[in-house]
Amino acid sequence: MDKSTAKLIGVVKTYGKGHLAVKALDGIDLNVMEATMTAIVGPSGSGKSTLLHVIGAMDKATKGEVEVVGVDLNALDQKGLAKVRREHIGFVFQTFNLIPILSALENVMLPMEFIRKGRRQKKERGQHLLRKVHLDHRLRHKPTELSGGEQQRVAIARALANDPAIVLADEPTGNLDTKTGRIICDLLREIAAEKTVIVVTHDEHIADNADRVIYISDGQLHA
Amino acid sequence: MNIILRSIRNIGRKKFRTSLVLIFLSLIIGLFVIMVQVSVTSSQKYAEMETRIRNTIELRPVGSLSAGGVRIRLFPFESTMASIKGIPHISKVERYLIKRIFHEEESFEIIIGLDPESSLRVIGEPEPIDTTIVAGRRLIESDRDQAVVVMGKALAEKKGIFVDDVERATVQFNETAFTVIGIFASGNEFTDNQTFVPFNIMKKLYNPKGVSKFFVTVDNIRNTKSVVQELKTILKEADIIANEASIEFVKSSLEVIGSTTLYSSFFFFVVGALLIIFVMMLVFRERQTEVGILKALGASNTDIAKQFVLESIFLTLLGGVGGLAVSAVGLYFFSLTWTNISFQLVTTPLPFLTVIEMIIASVVLGIAGSVYPIIRSWRLSPVDTLRMG
């Protein structure tokens, strides 16, 4: 039976107060199933990234219920949200956001440091993940020595470091050429065989390859 | 890579800026260490001087000052000693018998009787200091009832006794033969015409009516005043000579050095703290996005705080190592400059205490520097920082 990984009911996210208040999310109901790839599309400023941040325990909803891997995020304080991010969520950013002083392997090992994994375990898993994204020949390279596509693959490997239930990707192909974008898309598709992948994107190719496409505008979902 | 290595590597991100900061930190920490070192040493020296130097009081029978305590009046043997010993804070009482022997050619020599182990204080020196033995030895306990002398160099030479004759040569006093066991030199021909003999022997030989003078040692400079007061009350028939002006001079000099260096060390510490705080503010501003990324990856506030603390401490420790080099050079020049005065406030090479001071100062500065980034990163929302990036 299909199992829900992320469930949102009547979620509202408002920025600012009084007459300056802006509703980024306006009554979102969403149920994302385990081991699927969901693409969230919509125009700029429609609330795509905000939705991703709320699901990813980076931001709290103003109103409504958010349940991720069975945890009620609204009930958690900042420490609790950090724990959810550390153990259950993997992030992939548009600008890769790798740490420049660390090598590819060290970047992948970084999230494992926060769950106090042993050095050997970290190294072995890091090497395994970089092999999985076909970068086992680039372990010692710094981000500046890698191409955009390679950096994004390192970022994907890093997102998988703590074996999260959900991988969230915010415009993962936004800074890449079409060919490299396809490679990243294929990689995400591959990950979705085991994990829940939610991708915010403008890339039609990703949307075409997703199990489900959600359209969002003015903070509201459209089927 | 663990957090320690990451923190060390973070320091090298902006190489030029880090180098500049390290140079300034080295100078500041170096000066701080020098000031603390001088301040601490001057306090130690003062404490040491309090117990050791210029804490003697000379007692002479009233009116005998111009005669060098040689005659006119004498202190009764037993009662004076008992009275002095009853005063608190007196650590040592030394009694001296003094006899002038006149010769036909209008010259005279002085014989001083004293207890073994007492300081060999000659008559006529402005400062009642111990003399230097140039051959043989001093009077020791086993000499208490022996006919032995320690003789001034000038007098010994007049009598045809030289350094090599010590322990063999004898001299006559009051028809008694005394073995010369030591020769002293005070650097003054007059005082080198004097001779020290054991108190008991001198008493037997010349049968004096009392003690010529006493030297009283006070346990601590601070108690000198009160002891002088007590002595004045008890010994009405005595001139009491305490070198209070010298004591005050040494005390005030060391106090000025101590307080100046203490305030200076505080100043340098504050400057160092401001510098590292400013640098870490810059570091935080440059790396706000990175803090957001770390938070998004699940780093707790403690993880991020640890990184900033370690980074700041490593930076200040590196500055501290440079500071040690600066302070080693500085203290060396200090020691060269100050060898002309009677006390040396610094030592080279650097004492272990200085290294400990440097480590403590660096760690405290490092912690001070990390406060701002820690507070700011705790308040930082990962979403906001990622948006900024």
* pLDDT at residue A37 greater than cutoff 90: yes
CB contact under 8 A, B389 and A158: no
pLDDT of residue B72: 59
What is the pLDDT confidence band of residue B180, given thresholds at 50, 70 and 90? very high
Q: How far is A180 from chain B (nearest CA, A)?
A: 23
* pLDDT at residue B347 greater than cutoff 60: no
What is the pLDDT confidence band of residue A120, given thresholds at 50, 70 and 90? very high
pLDDT of residue B340: 44
Q: What is the pTM of this model?
A: 0.68
CB contact under 8 A, A111 and B383: no
Q: With contact defined as beta carbons under 8 Å apart, do B361 and B303 qualify?
A: no
CB contact under 8 A, A78 and B301: yes
pLDDT of residue B239: 84
A56, A82, A102 ranked by CB distance to B300: nearest: A82
> Which residues in chain A touch residue B382, judged by CB atoms under 8 angstroms apart?
58
Q: Mean per-residue pLDDT for B216-221?
A: 84
DSSP A5-52: EEEEEEEEEEES-GGG-EEEEEEEEEEEETT-EEEEE--TTSSHHHHH
What is the pLDDT confidence band of residue B54, given thresholds at 50, 70 and 90? low
CB contact under 8 A, B297 and A79: no
Q: With contact defined as beta carbons under 8 Å apart, do B180 and B164 qualify?
A: no
For testing contact with chain B, the best of A22, A52, A78, A166 (most B CBs within 10 A): A78
* pLDDT at residue B341 greater than cutoff 60: no
Chain A residues contacting B, CB < 8 Å?
A: 53, 56, 58-59, 78-79, 82-83, 85-87, 89, 91, 93, 95, 97, 99-102, 106, 109-111, 113-115, 119, 158, 162
Q: How far is A47 from chain B (nearest CA, A)?
A: 13
pLDDT of residue B338: 58
pLDDT of residue A165: 95
* pLDDT at residue A125 greater than cutoff 60: yes
pLDDT of residue B69: 44
**Beta strands B108-114; B194-198: pairing state:** parallel
What is the pLDDT confidence band of residue B58, given thresholds at 50, 70 and 90? confident
Q: How far is A1 from chain B (nearest CA, A)?
A: 30
pLDDT of residue B297: 93
In this predicted model, what pLDDT tens digit does every residue of B143-159 receive, in sequence order? Answer: 999 999 999 999 999 88
pLDDT of residue A190: 94
How many Cβ atoms from other residues are within 10 Å of residue A82's Cβ?
24
CB contact under 8 A, B298 and A56: no
CB contact under 8 A, B289 and A93: no
User: Is the model more confident about B55 or about B281?
Assistant: B281
For B1, which residue in chain A has the nearest alpha carbon? A106
* pLDDT at residue A167 greater than cutoff 90: yes
For testing contact with chain B, the best of A53, A115, A162, A175 (most B CBs within 10 A): A53
For testing contact with chain A, the best of B297, B301, B383, B384 (most A CBs within 10 A): B297
pLDDT of residue B337: 64
In this predicted model, what pLDDT tens digit does every residue of B32-51 receive, in sequence order? Answer: 888 887 887 777 777 766 66
* pLDDT at residue B285 greater than cutoff 50: yes
What is the pLDDT confidence band of residue B132, given thresholds at 50, 70 and 90? confident
* pLDDT at residue B344 greater than cutoff 90: no
* pLDDT at residue B232 greater than cutoff 90: no
Instruction: State how far the Cα of B347 lies from the Cα of B44, in Å rounded to an integer.
Output: 13
Q: Mean per-residue pLDDT for B15-34?
A: 91
User: Could you give the C-alpha distances from A183 to A39, A149, A172, A191, B315, in angstroms and in order?
Assistant: 16, 8, 11, 12, 42
DSSP A147-180: -HHHHHHHHHHHHTTT--SEEEEESTTTTS-HHH
- Angle of helix B301-337 relative to helix A78-88, nearest 10 degrees, comes to 100
Tokens of B243: 């070198």
- % of chain A with per-residue pLDDT over 70: 99
Tokens of A36: 């699927």
pLDDT of residue B333: 77
B10, B297, B383 ranked by CB distance to A110: nearest: B297
Instruction: State how far the Cα of B228 lies from the Cα of B379, in Å rounded to an integer.
Output: 67
Average pLDDT along chain B: 84
> Which residues in chain A touch residue B300, judged by CB atoms under 8 angstroms apart?
79, 82-83, 86, 114
> Which residues in chain B touch residue A89, judged by CB atoms under 8 angstroms apart?
298
pLDDT of residue A195: 95
Chains A, B: CB contacts under 8 A, how many?
70
Q: Which residues contact B124 (CB under 8 A, 6 or more apart)?
A: B68, B188, B190, B191
* pLDDT at residue B113 greater than cutoff 90: yes
Which residue blocks in B99-173 are alpha helix, DSSP H?
153-158
Q: How far is B385 from chain A (nearest CA, A)?
A: 11
DSSP B346-366: --SS--HHHHHHHHHHHHHHH
What is the pLDDT confidence band of residue B65, given thresholds at 50, 70 and 90? low
How many Cβ atoms from other residues are within 10 Å of residue A95's Cβ?
17
Q: Mean per-residue pLDDT for A135-150?
A: 94
What radius of gyration, in Å, describes the C-alpha atoms of chain A?
17
Most confident among B25-29, B336-340, B349-353 (mean pLDDT): B25-29
pLDDT of residue B66: 47
CB contact under 8 A, B298 and A113: no
Q: How far is A82 from chain B (nearest CA, A)?
A: 5
Instruction: State how far the Cα of B58 lies from the Cα of B213, in Å rounded to an integer.
Output: 7
Q: Mean per-residue pLDDT for A20-37?
A: 93
pLDDT of residue A191: 95
Q: Mean per-residue pLDDT for B238-265?
A: 78
Furthest CA-CA distance within chain A: 55
> Which residues in chain A touch residue B291, judged by CB atoms under 8 angstroms apart?
none
Q: How far is B296 from chain A (nearest CA, A)?
A: 7
Q: With contact defined as beta carbons under 8 Å apart, do B234 and B202 qualify?
A: no
Identify the helix (H) or strand (E) that includes residue B129. Answer: none
ipTM strictly over 0.95? no
Q: How far is A114 from chain B (nearest CA, A)?
A: 6
Q: With contact defined as beta carbons under 8 Å apart, do B357 and B268 qualify?
A: no
pLDDT of residue B68: 46
Handedness of CA A127, A131, A132, A134 (dihedral sign): positive
Q: Mean per-residue pLDDT for A4-9?
A: 94
For A109, which residue in chain B has the nearest alpha carbon? B1
